[in-house]
Structure 1
Amino acid sequence: MKLRIPAMRRGLLPAAIVTALSPAIAAAQEQASDATTLDRIEVTGSRIRQASIETAQPVLMIGREEIEKQGFTTVADILQNLTSAGSPAISRGDVLASGENVGGYYVDLRNLGASRTLILVNGKRLGANTTGLQDLGQIPSSAIERIDVLKDGASSIYGSDAIAGVVNIITRTRFDGAEANAYFGQYDDGGGDIQTFDFTVGSTSDRGGVSLSIDYGKEEPLWARDMWYARDGSRGPDFPGAGWSPVSQNGSFFDPVSEEWLTLTPGADPTDPDSYTPLTPDQYANSNEQMMARTGIERRSIYVAGEFDLTDDIRFVSDALYNSRTTTQQVAGYPYQSGSFETPLSGDSAFNPYPGTDLEFRRRLWERPRITENELKTYRVTAGLQGAFEIGERFWDWDVGGSWNRNEMLKNGRGDASLVAARAALGPSFINEDGVAQCGTVDDPIALGTNYGADECTPWNPLQPYGANGPNGLEDPNVQAFLFPEYHDTGLTESTIYTANLSGTLFTLPAGDLGVAVGYEHRKEEGRFVPDAFNQAALSTGLPATTTAGQYSLDEMYLELNVPLLSGVAGAEELSLSLATRYSDYDTFGDTLNNKFGLTWRPTGDLLVRGTWAEGFRAPSIDNLYGGVGGSFERYVDPCGNGPGNVAGNAACTAAGVSPDYVQLGQGLDPCDSFPCQTPYQFLTGSNPNLTPEMATSKTAGIVYSPQWVEGLDLSLDWYSVEIENLIAEDSVDDILTDCYVRGVESRCAGIERDPETGVITMLNFGLTNKGRLETEGYDLGVRYRLPETAYGNFAIDWQTTYVSKHELTADNNPDTVPAPSNSFAGYFRTRSNLTLDWQMGDFGASWTARYYSGMKESCVVTDSFDENYCDQPDYAAPDVPEGLPLRTVGSNVFHDAQVRWSAPWDATVSLGANNVTDHRGPLMFTSPNNQFAYYGGFDVGRFVYMKYQQRF
């Protein structure tokens, strides 16, 4: 019994696909001729093993050769540069991001959210954390053979999460030999060094093979103080000093006599009231001086894959992965405000300039920046049996197996103050007979020391400015040891999956074989994330959080059919219909059934017409269901205040008791002069155990044209549409406020609490809920042309473009609510396009890539600190904002990458290249999209130069 794979006409395949798959196809054909029965091709998006890799679904394949021609070191970086990729879920510039997702690499297709793109490794799910995100950084790039990107919904084939698409990472299985790679890169302004080293060794035989890949990578952080867009403050170099915080590292207190905020004159006596002068803006804190602009990461991984033919009809396959990732974050010292924690400087403190009067103070904890080290260890093992058998003249393929994935997280942090220690350190104190400040009173002293749990105490003088080196200032190591304990968060997730699949041919129709695949899957997800006890009890300046812990399990069955309708007739070289259905039964919300239909029509040998209609879903994650409650200091624009697009004085604001003259208050309860403005109060967000799945409908239609009269040319055009209902969404503060006060959605006002005197928002809950609808629609255009060989070498062109015609969110389930368009707003590009030119001649080669991003718009900021000319669309209006919203627009951007390479005679390849070779700078974006700073988090931050060396043995 032999498996025979029909020959494929190469001219019908895009050049990059042929390049990527030729080794696999050739190996399969060779082994077929040598009597093996196990090498049918399984195309991403279908469980039916088949010879053709062109289906009704749009699949982009990125081969190893193409990967090596890029200057990126991780799978996520490669995928992030696809034109169909949306903004990064957590960019490296989101240095204030917290929780278990920080440090991971995630891909977000179609800007529908990273949790709506499913990640597979060799067709099997990659383990997720409690939030449902799958970290691509776990996969060592040295182990990758190719990457398949299915840009279509596929829940009927793969289950939950496959709404925007599927990324399937195919690893090397029969690698023979050894290979070592070294990569060094650096920004030409210095800093941000990246170095990676990997080694792969493998051996094959007639009956199987095994390969081992070892990777090490380290990326040094970038610092905001060195970056042109961040060094001058939160609004960039055009507005130096904008956004600086009145919570200064020099300390200040509210003078009960002058009713002003005063700060100590340098070198003066801090206990003398006459030593203080009013705090001025030039003494505010530029927190970016202490911030990382990009986090640092160090990774180590080991990947082993093997397969062995037990018989001519049964093969054992297995792989195992270990990955260790350490992410380091640093943000500025905490902006301590005594009023937020009811911890004034006691009137009985030895450092109080007004003895007998408790003082409200503000002091940024500059001497101890907040540093967090997040360690994640991943263990993954898969094993199974694959086989084939023949009934009559029909071949059947089967496989059974299981996979286990475990993530262990330890998060260590220091820099947030213990509130119980701070309360003691700011309480009564006196100067003892040794001339040293001591907590307590002369009659009732508290032992000096740094262990609060042992009833020890060290007084703190919060009015001592940074660098003054006075007694009991924050530079005192004893004060630091007392105030700043170490915090430890832990996390653990496990995913266990068992599968069984069968595919083959039911019978032969006049147009060909009717293919079928059926299967069963059992999956169990378990997870917990346990914040430090201080944060759970809200006893530190860190964000309050509670434990996430829970599990769920499910059983699924699917059926897929491939029905040939016509073949080899006029107007229909091929006409086939694909159908798939999947039944999923969860022990949390119940069951769901999802279907998919696809049509493939080849009117002529060089033209393919394709289309799909699919249902999809995303089940609530463990964090969605059992995540507890957390807190954050959000940045927002109060529509009832003085910010951009305000509606101060309208009926909704008046009903909330807000004066038409209200000025939004920010840190230190000071009036905001730039937006979005950070609240001085913690808002709460949390999970919801009653969530139900998101439900989606996706449609695609497209053509693939490979004209026989132009050899090497492949053209493709695909239309897509995705609509997601019943969204699992964490409300944003801005969305809630806009819905309540601008759009008049009364139900959205219920959780907003304001101070009746000042009008400032003191509490807002923005937890998870099923609400609203998300829709997107657009086109993907692909042009690939491998020119005929010339005397000057081989040339190839690859041009990929995505155009988004619609991307809009409906905030709630009210049918009268007008959708809010996000297309062309910061981070949501209407058009992305990549053009690559490649040249190869003998041992030398070069490539050049231009990455195009269309223009963006954002809510503009008009205050005393900003030039009103930045609002070039002051009268912008949209259906969702009938009263108008002033906007600022910026133009398109193009980043250029270049690489030259040489194949050395000792079987090595040397590559030199630069990403953003022209050192192009994107525009300042004052809304800080996907970033902590006034710059889009997905743009290059400077010219990055690198060298790669590959040695084959």
Structure 2
Amino acid sequence: MKTFSKRALLRASAAPAILSASLIASAAFAQDAPQGADAADSDTIVVTGSRIATPVIDAPNPIQVVTDQVIRSTGAINLQETLLRNPAFGTPAISRNNSNFSTSSAGVATVDLRNLGSDRTLVLVNGRRFVAGVPGTSTVDLNSIPTQFIDRVDVLTGGSSAVYGSDAVAGVVNITLKKDYQGIEASARTGISEHGDDSQREFNLMLGGNFDDNKGNVLVYAGYTKQGAVFSRGRSRSAIDQISCVYVNCDVDQIFEPYAPYYSSFAPQGRFFVGPQATQTTQAQQFTYDKNNNLIQGFSTNGNATRAADGFNRSAYRTIAIPTERYLLALNAHYEISDSVNVFLEGNYASTKVRTELEPFPMDSAGPNGIFPATGGRFNIEGLSINPATGASVLTRNPLVPLAIYNAATDTTGDGLRDIGFTKRLSEFGNRGSSVDRDTFRIVAGVNGALSDRWNYEAYYNYGQTRESQQNQGQVNVLNFANALNAVQDVYDLNGNGSTTDAICADAQARAQGCAPANIFGYNALSPEAINYIIAPSSVTSLTTQSVAGASIVGSLPGLSAGDIGIAIGAEYRKEQSEQVFDALTNAGLNGGNKLANTYGQFHVWEGYGEIRLPILADTPFFHRLELSAAGRVSKYSTVGTVYSYNLSALWAPVQDIRFRGTYSQSTRAPNVSELYGGSGQDYPSDLSDPCDGITATSTGTLATQCLANVGVRANIAANGSFVVNQADIQGISGFNNTNPNLNEEQSKSWTVGVAINPRSVDALRNLTLTVDYFNIKIKDAITQLPRSFILSQCYNAGNDDYCSFITRRQAVAGANSAGSLEFIDTTLFNSGGLRTSGLDVTLGYSQNVAGGQANFNVSYTHVFKGYVIPLPGAGRDNFAGESGASKDRATGALGWINKDFGVTFTGTYIGKAYLDDQFIIGSRGDTDIHSSNYRIKSKFYLDGQIKFTPGDNFEFFFGANNLLNTSPPPIITGLPFNTTGAETDASTYDPIGRRYYTGVRVKF
């Protein structure tokens, strides 16, 4: 489980930005946000980042606002697509472009502020929490929130736990839904890429109206969206399996050049090994089948001058973007019973259907997930047939094994029977993949009103749940497969079919359970009966629930000459529950995959908070406005106990046109259910070496003492003279990733300081706005997983026995594995990490009446100074700033013009140069010049556009294109860090689909 993401970037297009003095409004057109002198007259509202009502222009925090017009101007079906255009957001942990290989939660749409992790970005709806879409976490699935029902989205970066509670470490995304709507609006949209895929359809209907002399309003929404698949074979860059050229001895300056084809050696016809294991890869000891299903000797994965390729092209089956279908319902209603009592109700239901698809299952007789790992992947091709009447037995061969393979086979395991090994792509079982049904339901009911002309109150109850059912296909029951491979000649006609030359399963109990012999030799050789016996569809179901009750009082006290003192106090109770249940074979690790345990857990928290705003000076020389604010929260968790959060803010406007602002915050994130109570998951780590290798009985020092304490190590040394491990030992290392019920909370210190300039006193510049804000976020006690290499070092080199408890060694020879070799290295979560990021946000906006309409120019730029992870106390920094997904320089700009009949907008996004992961460069490549041009990813620019026509008051037609320039993504290919499997690029960061078009219509009554 990753608790942080070492990458940051938004996707490949941008939202326009309109700015006011302290409000950054990412809008396509100026009328969507207060501007110029009108901003000073903006209504007093509750802005994100404070519970005290205030004019938006006086907000002490930089808030970016995405309006409903912005969402529409991008042509996006999903809110995630719009938000990722904003430079404040990092690369999403999950999207439809990067989750085809996910074991759960495929197709979820998440956001990640400042690239500090999705669980450190708090997503609210109407200022209240929304149930998670990923089991065991706080991560909200934006698929659950209908885009057309959104009025605006406020984005506040920086710690805000004092105001909103846990998880608001990187910031808050507050989605405000439409309300008080009267009328009917229907819309339809369709789109497609220029390659003919990525088809999109969208239908929306919204109805609203007042009742009972305008005391109440009811607004309902129903919508349907469908996004089609994009397959790897649909793009020339990813249609054929490939790998970075440096892995086939190319020069380092060719690291981004693909070597193709680079097929998989797991082929549908099978690859069969005979003879001694140590030399099983020689051509003389391998067999396969040609395209005509004739048995041939040798195997050439990628082919050569004299032989066709025998390997398998996985890219012909993989997916770049997975198909997603949504059914959405929403409700927003309120009724004013009296001047002091108003009841309200919010409802939301989303049904999301997702399908993933990838190549058929690769079955290996060897390997840690193979059928016969204990014998080095070898299974017998001859055995004893027993006469049930007499008990007599006769040695027979498996009649399904071709004679040439049988004659070449030998006994390599010492049991006196011939054996072979194999790899095979199980194409007879069909493609692997999953069908996911995810349903989210949320309802909020409450009452609010005025206690007096100065004080208001609110009380509410919020319940939400997400239920997911995922059915996986294309996998196998490993035990049944082993039984089906253990076949012998039916010399006694035990199956009663009159033949004594056919094959049957050797095990009588397996035959009674329906075992059918598995013929793995050649294309489409497995019989329907064998497939039915071996196939093992798997499943995972989950249920996540959230209950929140809250009450607050907000008002003001007179007494200061500069204005009233704003006060907010409140209390909340929250309970989170989550469970995730896998099928029995997955629990046992017997379906060809890793062993995964179930998750069950819950926690609750009581919280109290308060906020105060003090206007110190107003309308005096050099102090047009001076205001101080503070907020605090006390939270008592059933898990981590009592934690505290606070923030301090200041706003100083020396003159009306310039405002300086700053905020300092201490925020917290309590561990979630998955981190506390998640089921352990089996892993097979690579690049680990046994520290005891080479130790002898006379070796001295801490390392030798720790090694010789193990009886298996001593037995190995006695047999070999020194401790020896072989390749099977190294490949056979396993371990479990465990969670930790004793985790503590994370803490962050963050501060922002900036200036907002809006020269309203100069007529020519009254619609010009400029903001510059510096941010700095530092997280300590971050929840991270202990690296296995660190565990080994602490146990053997430092002599710390606490870490030795994570390590299990084999105590006796088991098949191909050596006595004393590493069998399991478990790891767990600790509060042992740290993260930090800092940077500068600059925004500029200007609007002006031109040619009978309004023209707008807006640009938003982010520069990241620092961004790094500290995985363990005392460890060096692992920088992510400047790497793929975290370019240090990014910019978004928009140019638009609109009048009452026509509008056009062009939006561009610049993604600066980046580099591959520094750990890959230093560790795998052994190069210290991490900023060498050999590892540089070139900058990219994307351009989007939309035209809309409004021929009357009731109709609007729009046409648009994303990635107008058809900018291709950089070649971040297989074998390189940040590669998205199937896309041959970083599909989380760059556009993997290409130019695409859409058109639609809106009708209002």
Shorter chain as denominator, the TM-score bin is: 0.7 to 0.9
Counterpart of 2:859, as a letter, is: W
Give CA deviations for 1:488-542 in whole Å, capped at 9, x if unaligned: 2111111000000001012321211011000000001111000111101222113
| Aligned match of 1:244 | 263
| Aligned match of 2:859 | 799
Distance 2:115 2:792 in 1: 23
Counterpart of 2:535, as a letter, is: F
Counterparts in 2 of 1:496 and 1:922: CA distance versus 1, 3 Å: same
CA contact (8 A) 1:59 1:150 kept: yes
Counterpart of 2:422, as a letter, is: F
Counterpart of 1:212, as a letter, is: V
| Aligned match of 2:719 | none
Distance 1:743 1:87 in 2: 38
1:911 is paired with a residue of what secondary structure? strand
| Aligned match of 2:458 | 399
Counterpart of 2:298, as a letter, is: T
Alpha-carbon distance, 1:217 to partner:
1.0
Distance 2:787 2:234 in 1: 31
Asked if 1:487 is matched to 2:542, the reply is no
| Aligned match of 1:829 | 887
Distance 2:843 2:702 in 1: 49
CA contact (8 A) 1:860 1:887 kept: no
Alpha-carbon distance, 1:740 to partner:
11
1:688 is paired with a residue of what secondary structure? coil
Give CA deviations for 1:625-652 in whole Å, capped at 9, x if unaligned: 1102113456x666999xxxxxxxxx99
Distance 2:726 2:320 in 1: 27
| Aligned match of 2:392 | none
CA contact (8 A) 2:152 2:176 kept: yes
Residue 521 (structure 2) aligned to one of 443, 463, 468: 463
Give the TM-score taking structure 2 as reference length.
0.81
Give CA deviations for 1:855-881 in whole Å, capped at 9, x if unaligned: 11115999xxxxx9x999985357xxx
Alpha-carbon distance, 1:228 to partner:
3.0
CA contact (8 A) 1:44 1:59 kept: yes
Residue 904 (structure 1) aligned to one of 936, 951, 957: 951
Residue 102 (structure 1) aligned to one of 106, 112, 130: 106
Asked if 1:77 is matched to 2:136, the reply is no
Unpaired segments ≥5 residues, structure 1: 1-8, 31-38, 449-453, 642-650, 658-663, 672-678, 863-867, 879-883
Counterparts in 2 of 1:313 and 1:267: CA distance versus 1, 3 Å: closer
Alpha-carbon distance, 1:459 to partner:
1.2
Residue 168 (structure 1) aligned to one of 174, 193, 198: 174
Give CA deviations for 1:145-177 in whole Å, capped at 9, x if unaligned: 000001121000010000100000000111111
CA contact (8 A) 1:173 1:305 kept: yes
Query: Which stretch of the first structure deviates more once superposed, 168-177 or 424-433?
Result: 424-433
Counterparts in 2 of 1:803 and 1:360: CA distance versus 1, 3 Å: same
| Aligned match of 2:784 | 729
Distance 2:690 2:236 in 1: 34
What aligned pairs does 1:124-163 form with structure 2 within 5 A after superposition?
124-128=128-132, 129-163=135-169
Alpha-carbon distance, 1:738 to partner:
11
Distance 1:301 1:785 in 2: 37
Unpaired segments ≥5 residues, structure 2: 1-18, 245-255, 303-308, 373-377, 383-397, 408-416, 692-700, 708-712, 714-724, 810-815
Counterparts in 2 of 1:736 and 1:291: CA distance versus 1, 3 Å: farther
Give the TM-score taking structure 1 as reference length.
0.85
| Aligned match of 1:276 | 297
Alpha-carbon distance, 1:327 to partner:
1.3
Counterparts in 2 of 1:762 and 1:251: CA distance versus 1, 3 Å: farther
Distance 1:127 1:750 in 2: 37
CA contact (8 A) 1:874 1:885 kept: no
2:81 is paired with a residue of what secondary structure? helix
| Aligned match of 1:296 | 323
Residue 384 (structure 1) aligned to one of 433, 446, 453: 446
Counterparts in 2 of 1:703 and 1:267: CA distance versus 1, 3 Å: closer
Asked if 1:428 is matched to 2:428, the reply is no
Distance 1:902 1:680 in 2: 64
Distance 2:621 2:925 in 1: 56
- Between Structure 1 and Structure 2, whose CA radius of gyration is higher? 2
Alpha-carbon distance, 1:53 to partner:
4.5
Alpha-carbon distance, 1:322 to partner:
0.9
Counterpart of 1:455, as a letter, is: Q
CA contact (8 A) 1:11 1:712 kept: no
CA contact (8 A) 2:736 2:827 kept: yes
1:771 is paired with a residue of what secondary structure? strand
Alpha-carbon distance, 1:613 to partner:
0.2
CA contact (8 A) 1:94 1:930 kept: no
Distance 2:911 2:318 in 1: 28
| Aligned match of 2:1003 | 951
Alpha-carbon distance, 1:792 to partner:
5.8
Query: Which stretch of the first structure deviates more once superposed, 791-800 or 556-565?
Result: 791-800
For these two proteins, the number of residue pairs brought into alignment is: 879
Alpha-carbon distance, 1:345 to partner:
3.8
Counterpart of 1:809, as a letter, is: V
Distance 2:932 2:821 in 1: 22
Distance 2:703 2:232 in 1: 38
Alpha-carbon distance, 1:359 to partner:
1.5
Alpha-carbon distance, 1:64 to partner:
1.0
Counterpart of 2:263, as a letter, is: W
1:929 is paired with a residue of what secondary structure? coil
CA contact (8 A) 1:95 1:330 kept: no
Residue 358 (structure 2) aligned to one of 324, 331, 339: 331
Counterparts in 2 of 1:920 and 1:365: CA distance versus 1, 3 Å: same
| Aligned match of 1:674 | none
Distance 1:303 1:734 in 2: 50
CA contact (8 A) 1:874 1:886 kept: no
Distance 2:796 2:891 in 1: 38
CA contact (8 A) 2:20 2:57 kept: no
Q: Percent identity?
A: 26
Counterparts in 2 of 1:434 and 1:328: CA distance versus 1, 3 Å: farther
1:72 is paired with a residue of what secondary structure? coil
Distance 2:113 2:904 in 1: 29
What aligned pairs does 1:742-821 form with structure 2 within 5 A after superposition?
763-787=824-848, 789-791=849-851, 793-814=853-874, 817-821=875-879
Distance 1:361 1:584 in 2: 58
Distance 2:332 2:194 in 1: 38
Asked if 1:318 is matched to 2:318, the reply is no
| Aligned match of 1:504 | 555
Asked if 1:350 is matched to 2:399, the reply is yes
CA contact (8 A) 2:21 2:757 kept: no
Distance 1:731 1:935 in 2: 29
Give CA deviations for 1:312-361 in whole Å, capped at 9, x if unaligned: 22211111111111111112222211123343443233323327412221
Structure 1 vs Structure 2 CA RMSD: 3.8
CA contact (8 A) 1:575 1:600 kept: yes
1:153 is paired with a residue of what secondary structure? coil
| Aligned match of 2:710 | none
| Aligned match of 2:906 | 848
Alpha-carbon distance, 1:756 to partner:
8.3
Distance 1:950 1:142 in 2: 11
Counterparts in 2 of 1:757 and 1:893: CA distance versus 1, 3 Å: farther
Counterparts in 2 of 1:827 and 1:399: CA distance versus 1, 3 Å: same
1:354 is paired with a residue of what secondary structure? helix
| Aligned match of 1:418 | 477
2:233 is paired with a residue of what secondary structure? helix
Alpha-carbon distance, 1:894 to partner:
0.7
Counterpart of 1:186, as a letter, is: I
Counterparts in 2 of 1:306 and 1:70: CA distance versus 1, 3 Å: same
| Aligned match of 1:588 | 639
1:767 is paired with a residue of what secondary structure? strand
| Aligned match of 1:719 | 774
Distance 1:728 1:545 in 2: 21
| Aligned match of 1:644 | none
| Aligned match of 2:196 | 190
Counterparts in 2 of 1:891 and 1:311: CA distance versus 1, 3 Å: same
Give CA deviations for 1:67-110 in whole Å, capped at 9, x if unaligned: 11112111111111111111111243434543443221110000
